[in-house]
Chains A and B, each alone.
Chain A
């Protein structure tokens, strides 16, 4: 018996992508296996690790905890959508490199999505807000300190760009 498939049209990183999905296909599997957007990582697949974080309509969610069919008509941003239009790393991504905020890189896409969502909502966060924002993302090798440093550094650099005050100094 073949499984029923549902037509979906989902805006992914600014481009409407269409497909036909079985109801039980998770959003992360659709992104990775159908669209070949393998930047979003799969970790635990039951909502603990945060590696699969994407933005849904601008807010970070776990893409293993929703079915692709549920994203029909919505807007998804993956880590591939964070870079500058010319493909160079964004200020946030570059800050992760500068502070050595990644080692194995497995948690990095989820950390970047969580951090970008924070900076979109609160351009100049406090350290407590930074730690809260990445509280749902596990890192098992770099250590969280450099990741927090990267987000502080990015906030300071973005403040310098816009001429606003920051809670932190750029490195």
Chain B
């Protein structure tokens, strides 16, 4: 047995999980898909005293398509999110991002909320949440609150969640413009690994091919995923020609402060960020223009 000993409780409801969190103290952890937590426990990087298993809580597993928003329960498995055609029609970036997340076996177990709450600075789902401005529905024994993605992601492996709080559901804004396109890409050592740099974009255009709304972001180059609303605003009203796209991508890469490691130098990461940001903007724009 590789993990240190811990106490195990299977919660039957979100209320029960929150009640257990309230009793528990600081080193109590929720166990969702476990695809990051269990390896960290196996390597004894973390030693929770108690795990509250929320895998058997039906109320945390749902996809609800409503007007202007897709609500997804935090413990909904990544494979379920990726397979849902209705969701893919409304929030296409999610399926595109999930194609880069781990492998079939980890997506069958890993959850949407687990990835967001884990907040790995090179993970794909937090980037998608940041770029789309997802809202996090959070519950604790003493109440509920909602946080927008930029306030939720605080640092590497760190969110604004308090020890006694549980991420309950995530609200994904639906872009209702008919001509909307999106794109996600990344460079990693092997497909399924965490990104050296990942980029994604969503663009809406009018019938003349002019951009009416744009959002894009990068991750892997800092402590949290970043979106660039001010730079995206520069694209509105344009036809995203090469000069404008590359200048926005270049300025976005300039805002990163990437580290260097065995896999990539800081300069290479910045270069990659600029290239990939331009690429997703072009792809998203082309997809939007291709819609009738």
Stretch at the interface among A61-69, A101-109, A150-158: A61-69
Are B103 and A136 in contact, CB atoms less than 8 angstroms apart? yes
Q: Among B6, B79, B104, B106, which residue has its beta carbon within 8 angstroms of that of A65?
A: B106
Are B105 and A53 in contact, CB atoms less than 8 angstroms apart? yes
A143 to B18, CA, bound (A): 48
Are B192 and A4 in contact, CB atoms less than 8 angstroms apart? no
Stretch at the interface among A42-50, A75-83, A84-92, A163-171: A42-50
Cβ contacts under 8 Å, B79 to chain A: 59
Cβ contacts under 8 Å, A133 to chain B: 104
Are B103 and A135 in contact, CB atoms less than 8 angstroms apart? yes
Number of residue pairs A-B, CB distance < 8 angstroms: 84
A65 to B41, CA, bound (A): 10
Q: Among B2, B4, B31, B109, which residue has its beta carbon within 8 angstroms of that of A61?
A: B109
Interface string of B36-51 (1 = CB under 8 A from A): 0011011100000001
* Contact of B34 with A by CB under 8 A: yes
Q: Which of A26-51 contact B (CB under 8 A)?
A: 26, 29, 45-47, 50
- Which interface class (under 10, 10 to 19, 20 to 34, 35 or more) fits B? 20 to 34
* Contact of A7 with B by CB under 8 A: no
Question: At the interface, is chain A mostly helix, strand, loop or mixed?
Answer: mixed
* Contact of B3 with A by CB under 8 A: yes
Are B1 and A29 in contact, CB atoms less than 8 angstroms apart? yes
Cβ contacts under 8 Å, A61 to chain B: 105, 108-109
Q: A59-B79, A69-B10, A70-B55 are in contact. List 8 more A-B contacts (CB 8 A).
A: A24-B1, A24-B3, A24-B5, A24-B6, A61-B108, A62-B109, A65-B35, A67-B34
Are B103 and A6 in contact, CB atoms less than 8 angstroms apart? no
If A4-B7, A24-B6 touch, does A66 touch B108 (CB 8 Å cutoff)?
Answer: no
If A45-B42, A47-B39 touch, does A62 touch B5 (CB 8 Å cutoff)?
Answer: no
B241 to chain A, nearest CB (A): 33
* Contact of B8 with A by CB under 8 A: yes
Cβ contacts under 8 Å, B108 to chain A: 56, 59-61
Q: Among A26, A50, A132, which residue has its beta carbon within 8 angstroms of that of B2?
A: A26
A118 to B104, CA, bound (A): 10
Are A50 and B105 in contact, CB atoms less than 8 angstroms apart? yes
B103 to chain A, nearest CB (A): 3
A161 to chain B, nearest CB (A): 25
Are B105 and A60 in contact, CB atoms less than 8 angstroms apart? yes
